[in-house]
Amino acid sequence: MLNRKMNCKLLSKGLEEIQVRSGKKRLVDYVAEKIVEIFIVAVFVVGISVALFIDDAPSEEVASSIEYGDQDPFEDSELPRFEAKTIPVDEFFYALHQLESGGDLNPPAGDDGLSSGPLQISWGFWKDSGVGGEYKDCRELGYAKKVSMAYYKRYEPRAVEARDYYVLFALHQGGPSWRRGQSPRPFAERGLSIMQMRQESQ
């Protein structure tokens, strides 16, 4: 009788341990499932955020994909647009050189050391141009002009073709996303003023 009671107690205790272990396993499984669900949701949210960021970021063709006049912050300028196919591009580069370095052929680095040469070209600008050579070559005016023109053709090919110097000044100062802000406006207007004065004096 005593042995039977002891066996019953042992059996009961064994069943309790099995239930506890089973409960712990179910708890572990439940927690693991929730962790996986949270991870999936997090990945989904991050993916959506990245997609939205990429969609909103300036693309390499953002400028050339917009027709002239559309979303143009300069269209209300007091200065006339230069539709000057007869004006050589060298006149544009003369004005740009004056703006960027006062016509100095060996100016100090600008933009806190981030821009170099007569046309104050940054490393990113130079890299985007795709022109061969080294960044330090931008200290030479002829090479800097070549880099700049390649950059313009990449981001504003229509402006290059039309000799829309307003757009080229703005692109040089504000980058491919210049249409999204007002900061390039004074720079572009000063450049056109220099060009206009040069034309009037000739």
- Across the chain, what does the average pLDDT equal? 75
pTM: 0.61
Torsion from C-alpha of 139, 143, 145, 146, nearest 10 degrees:
-150
Confidence of residue 50 (pLDDT cuts 50, 70, 90): very low
Confidence of residue 28 (pLDDT cuts 50, 70, 90): low
Yes or no: say if 155 and 130 are a contact pair by the CB < 8 Å rule.
Answer: no
3-state DSSP assignment of residue 146? helix
| Locus of tokens 């912050």 | 73
Q: Which amino acid is at 5?
A: K
- Rounded distance, CA 121 to CA 130, Å? 13
Query: pLDDT tens, 162-191?
Result: 889 999 999 999 999 888 876 788 899 899
Yes or no: say if 122 and 96 are a contact pair by the CB < 8 Å rule.
Answer: no
Q: Which amino acid is at 180?
A: R
Comparing C-alpha atoms, which of 189, 199, 176 is closest to residue 81?
Answer: 189
Ranking 74-78, 144-148, 163-167, 177-181 by mean pLDDT, the lowest is: 74-78
Query: pLDDT tens, 119-142?
Result: 999 999 999 999 999 999 999 999
Q: Which amino acid is at 127?
A: K
Strands (E) in the chain, as ranges, are: 115-116, 121-122
